[in-house]
């Protein structure tokens, strides 16, 4: 016997679910069925709903590259970028609520002193050349990020080891932006363009451009914002992290990433004096310790894979990051699974 269930998504779309009545665990769905809803064994129950992607994988296993024909691929979200409209709104709301004065961002922190390599943790740092402290959340990992280095998501900060930003066979499917990925447009693989003037040569919008336009962002402006606010230097240099310490993640930042640790500290501030001895060590034996580096890894970050996080130190419903489709803004549902998949 089969029963039918309708699920209302936040976007107002009705999805039809078909399950075997005798099987309350709902081990599988028929091809063409909808999101897992409230049945099955889900890693992130209670998570925020989003777009239902296609293919034979659960939401938190949506491919990070090389999607199969007829399936979707998961990307980073462009409103995580330093200086995006949403990020600046989060900063403003947090500063008004707390009386603080910070900027915010996401990226990768180089640490081995953490049970999951910093994923989901927030850090407050003072950076040379920046007029306000930064509170950042580490949502990614990388073997190329050294101790006490933070790799901040900046507009054209470099695609890194896994380029899904541009140059794909199907822009809007396997890469986010149109056109080739070449040095004349995008700059270096690690670091992007060296000078603010070069930002003007970037494509302004993803291949699927409606969502970014609606958000009020564009890649040229996001690239320039990093130069304007001291997060990157003319000539391609890296600012120094003068002090850094773990702090409580602001709710406004968690709202953007949907990732939160249950072992957060109690405070947003720390007694961490600026130490002049902490200077970016770029060029010293290949180390980038105490450097604020940059990236724009368009690929779904490490925090979007459930095997990279420990459920026992994550907040229910916010165990993994919520990535985006190829427009860089439409969130993928990571509560349980995707259309046409097994729970």
CATH number, domain at 230? 2.40.40
The per-residue b/e assignment along 272-291, b for 16 or more CB within 10 angstroms, e otherwise, is eeeeeebebbbeeeebbbbb
Inside any domain, residue 324: no
Residues 164 and 285 in one domain: yes
Q: What is the mean pLDDT of residues 269-276?
A: 71
Residue pair 145/73 in contact by the 8 Å Cβ criterion: no
pLDDT one-digit tens code per residue, 136-187? 999 999 888 988 999 999 999 999 988 999 999 999 999 999 999 999 999 9
Is the alpha carbon torsion for 226, 257, 109, 260 positive or negative?
positive
Other C-beta atoms lying within 10 Å of the C-beta of residue 3: 9
Q: What number of helices (H) and strands (E) belong to the chain?
A: 5, 8
Q: Is residue 63 part of a domain?
A: yes
Residue 195 counted as domain residue: yes
Evaluate whether residue 304 is within a structural domain: no
Q: Which domain holds residue 338?
A: 1-74+332-343
Same-domain check for residues 181 and 67:
no
Query: In the prediction, which pLDDT does 288 show?
Result: 92
Quote the pLDDT of residue 25. Answer: 40
Lowest-confidence pick of 12-26, 211-225, 275-289: 12-26
- Could you say which DSSP state residue 151 is in? E
3-state secondary structure labels for all residues of 272-326: CCCCCCCCCCCCECCECCCEEEEECCCECCHHHCHHHCCHHHECCCCCCCCCECC
146: part of which helix (H) or strand (E)?
Answer: none
Q: In this model, does residue 195 exceed pLDDT 70?
A: yes
Q: What pLDDT is stored for residue 336 in this prediction?
A: 75
Work out the pLDDT band at 127, boundaries 50, 70, 90.
very high
Q: Give domain status of residue 327, yes or no.
A: no
Domain shared by 247 and 167, yes or no: yes
The per-residue pLDDT for 82 is 99
The verdict on 118 and 59 lying in the same domain is no
182 and 37 belong to one structural domain: no
Structural domains counted in the chain:
2
The count of residues in the chain is 343
Confirm if 196 and 210 have CB atoms less than 8 A apart.
no
Query: Does one domain contain both 66 and 149?
Result: no
73-86 per-position pLDDT tens digit: 899 999 999 999 99
User: Does residue 315 belong to any structural domain of this protein?
Assistant: no
Does 308 fall in a domain? no
SS3 state at 135: strand
Q: Report pLDDT for 63.
A: 80
CB 7: neighbour CB atoms within 10 A?
A: 16
Is the same domain home to 187 and 244?
A: yes
* Residue 322 placed within a domain: no
Regarding whether 85 and 32 lie in a shared domain, the answer is no
* Of 105, 152, 96, 149, nearest in space to 282 by CA: 149
pLDDT bin (cut points 50, 70, 90) of residue 129 is very high
pTM (2 decimals)? Answer: 0.87
241 and 213 within one domain = yes
Q: Provide the 8-state DSSP code for 156.
A: T
Helix (H, G, I), strand (E, B) or coil at 80: helix
Among 22-36, 111-125, 153-167, the minimum mean pLDDT is found in 22-36
Distance, CA of 117 to CA of 191 (rounded, Å): 22
Asked whether residue 105 falls in the same domain as residue 245, the answer is: yes
Closest among 148, 154, 137, 156 to 260, alpha carbons compared = 137
Same domain, 104 and 182: yes
- Identify whether the C-beta of residue 39 lies closer than 8 Å to the C-beta of residue 28: no
Residue 294: is its pLDDT beyond 90? yes
Q: Is there a single domain that holds both residue 61 and residue 156? A: no
């Amino acid at each position: 016997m089969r029963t039918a269930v309708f699920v209302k998504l936040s976007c107002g779309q009705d999805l039809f679910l078909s399950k075997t009545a005798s099987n309350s665990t709902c081990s599988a769905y028929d091809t063409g069925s909808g999101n897992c809803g409230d049945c099955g064994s889900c890693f992130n129950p209670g998570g925020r709903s989003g777009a239902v992607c296609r293919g034979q994988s659960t939401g938190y296993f949506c491919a990070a590259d090389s999607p199969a024909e007829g399936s979707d691929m998961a990307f980073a979200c462009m409103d995580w970028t330093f200086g995006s409209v949403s990020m600046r709104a989060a900063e403003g709301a947090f500063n008004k609520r707390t009386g603080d004065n910070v900027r915010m961002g996401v990226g990768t922190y180089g640490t081995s002193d953490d049970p999951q390599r910093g994923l989901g943790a927030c850090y407050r740092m003072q950076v040379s050349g920046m007029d306000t402290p930064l509170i950042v959340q580490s949502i990614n990992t990388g073997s190329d990020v050294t101790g006490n280095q933070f790799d901040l998501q900046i507009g054209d900060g470099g695609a890194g080891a896994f380029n899904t930003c541009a140059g794909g066979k199907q822009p809007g499917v396997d890469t986010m932006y149109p056109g080739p990925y070449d040095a004349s447009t995008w700059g270096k693989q690690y670091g992007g363009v060296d000078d603010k003037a070069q930002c003007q040569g970037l494509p302004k919008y993803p291949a699927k451009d409606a969502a970014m336009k609606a958000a009020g962002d564009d890649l040229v402006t996001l690239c320039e914002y990093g130069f304007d606010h001291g997060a990157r230097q003319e000539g391609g240099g890296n600012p120094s992290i003068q002090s850094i310490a773990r702090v409580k993640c602001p709710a406004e930042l968690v709202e953007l990433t949907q990732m939160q640790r249950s072992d957060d500290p109690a405070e947003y501030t720390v007694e961490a004096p600026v130490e002049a001895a902490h200077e970016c060590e770029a060029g010293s034996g290949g180390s980038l310790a105490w450097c604020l580096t940059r990236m724009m890894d368009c690929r779904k970050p490490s925090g979007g894979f459930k095997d990279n996080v420990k459920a026992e130190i994550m907040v229910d419903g916010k165990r993994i990051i919520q990535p985006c489709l190829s427009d860089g803004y439409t969130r993928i549902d990571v509560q349980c699974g995707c259309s046409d998949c097994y729970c």
